[in-house]
Amino acid sequence: MAERILISPVTRIEGHAKISIYLNDSNQVESAQFHVVEFRGFEKFCEGRPFHEMPGLMARVCGICPVSHVLASSKAGDALLGVEVPPAAVRLRRLINYGQILQSHALSFFHLSAPDLLLGFDSDPAQRNVLGLAERDPDMARRGVRLRQFGQRVIELLGGKRIHPAWGTPGGVLNPIDGRARDEIAGWIPEALSSVQMALGRMKALIDQFPEEIENIGNFPSLFLGTVSETGGLEYYDGPIRIVDAEGNVVAEGLDPQRYHTFIGEASEEWSYCKFPYYKPLGYPGGAYRVGPLARLNVATHAGTPLADRELREFKQRFGPTVNQSFHYHLARCIEMLHCVEKIDELVSDPALLDKHTRARAGQNRNEGIGSAEAPRGTLFHHYWVDDSGLMTKANLLIATGQNNIAMNKTVEQTAKHFVDPKKVTEGMLNRVEAGIRCYDPCLSCSTHALGKMPMVLEVRDRRGAVLSRYQR
């Protein structure tokens, strides 16, 4: 009899989801689905609000990556004003984004994924968490806490608070940075650099212990999409979009993020509140692409900072010009953390950072504006339409986690097919399915624009949909 295994709630990710594993008549895994089961509707309830309020409203989409939403929203506002943002504001926006990516990656790597990597996928689930990590390797756990604290502090010093800092605004940022805050950030750099290098070294050494997971958790050909600098390097704030394929060929180059809707389509499925974006020329679902740390490293030719450049070269030499194994999102995250610390150092060493002119003022000059930025989990687009009074008539948010939705579903299916034995389901098997999702560090609060954290349920169902067994944490 055909069955379905359902994992719900999924643990150590942000938001609510469940995983269904469908079995065939031979009791083998036939397919799997990753369901996002929460709905928030930010796009709808911002209608009628003045567009100047949008960065503050959009910060509330997420408690983990509010800065990314503030930046994309502010940039959409820049477009509505039609202004050139002062250079100091651009530097400050970049600085807060590096702080955001650093704290988010530190949380994902040290707190959510390191327990699997350091304690093992089959270790006691009661210990397989940050407390278990603290027992096994307290120095690493402490460094993880401090690194995230550093990123949070950058956000707090610039935005006034760690969570939901509505400091970005159409035309720039609300306040400049003062010398004392700049110096405090600079004071953190040596420790942050040391911690990231330690994590990176540990991750590189650990990789060889997981050949089966690397081969079978999210290892498939797909496109990769990300923002690059004008010279093709790593870029998080502004630049053209590049898309590469599974072999490293450039599929599209110099795409204007302001025209994202011409090359990205958005499909939906009745079993998930999360959209399924795809690369339009290849259709749905053939145009599946991945975004985020791994995608950014795949599309970039170089990092642009000395230490990250060396690591990126080694990464590409070791795993190929395009790295298709989603397991390597973890290592990519570590390399990005290194790059962020280097870029923060670079920015706080620039006296121009203290320039007081941080906001261009203008009235509304357009009725449609698009803003994009690289969020921790990938490329983020905010698209606003406003009436002549500056009131929002429509919004479309294209979120990084949503853009990985097709890939996450493929990952769940591939992982389940390889690791799950329906006759004897073990906790370790289910943890690997969850771990496949955690590679992407999905933020479902963002992607459904929801509240709360993301526990996971796994159910076994027959082909007719009857639940035969259920696992819940």
Which residues bind to another protein, rule: CB under 8 A?
Answer: 9, 11-14, 60, 63-64, 107, 111-112, 126-127, 129-132, 134-135, 138, 141-142, 144-146, 148-149, 152, 162-164, 452-455, 473
User: Where on the phi/psi map is residue 257: left (φ > 0), alpha (ψ -120 to 50), or beta?
Assistant: alpha
The packing angle between helices 138-159 and 179-206, to 10°, is 150
**Dist. CA 188–CA 171, nearest whole Å:** 30
Distances 302 to 100, 234, 327, 374 between C-alpha atoms, Å? 21, 6, 21, 16
> Which of 65, 80 has the CB closer to another protein?
65
Shortest reach from residue 413's CB to another protein, in Å? 24
Distances 199 to 105, 145, 211, 315 between C-alpha atoms, Å? 11, 12, 20, 15
Shortest reach from residue 310's CB to another protein, in Å? 29
> Which of 111, 202 has the CB closer to another protein?
111
**Residues sharing a CB contact under 8 Å with residue 407, sequence separation 6 or more, in sequence order:** 218, 222, 288, 289, 290, 326, 440
Q: What are phi and psi of 34, to 5 degrees?
A: -105, 110
Shortest reach from residue 397's CB to another protein, in Å? 19
Cα of first residue to Cα of last residue in the chain, in angstroms, is 26
> Which of 11, 411 has the CB closer to another protein?
11
Shortest reach from residue 332's CB to another protein, in Å? 20
Taking the CA of residue 392 as centre, how many other CA atoms within 13 Å lie in the half-sphere pointing to its CB? 26
> Which of 146, 470 has the CB closer to another protein?
146
Query: Do the beta carbons of residue 377 and residue 437 sit within 8 Å?
Result: no
> Which of 146, 417 has the CB closer to another protein?
146
Shortest reach from residue 290's CB to another protein, in Å? 22
> Which of 49, 60 has the CB closer to another protein?
60
Shortest reach from residue 429's CB to another protein, in Å? 19
Taking the CA of residue 350 as centre, how many other CA atoms within 13 Å lie in the half-sphere pointing to its CB? 17
Shortest reach from residue 110's CB to another protein, in Å? 8
> Which of 321, 452 has the CB closer to another protein?
452
Q: Residue type for 184, please? A: E
**Dist. CA 444–CA 38, nearest whole Å:** 8
> Which of 299, 458 has the CB closer to another protein?
458
Shortest reach from residue 138's CB to another protein, in Å? 6
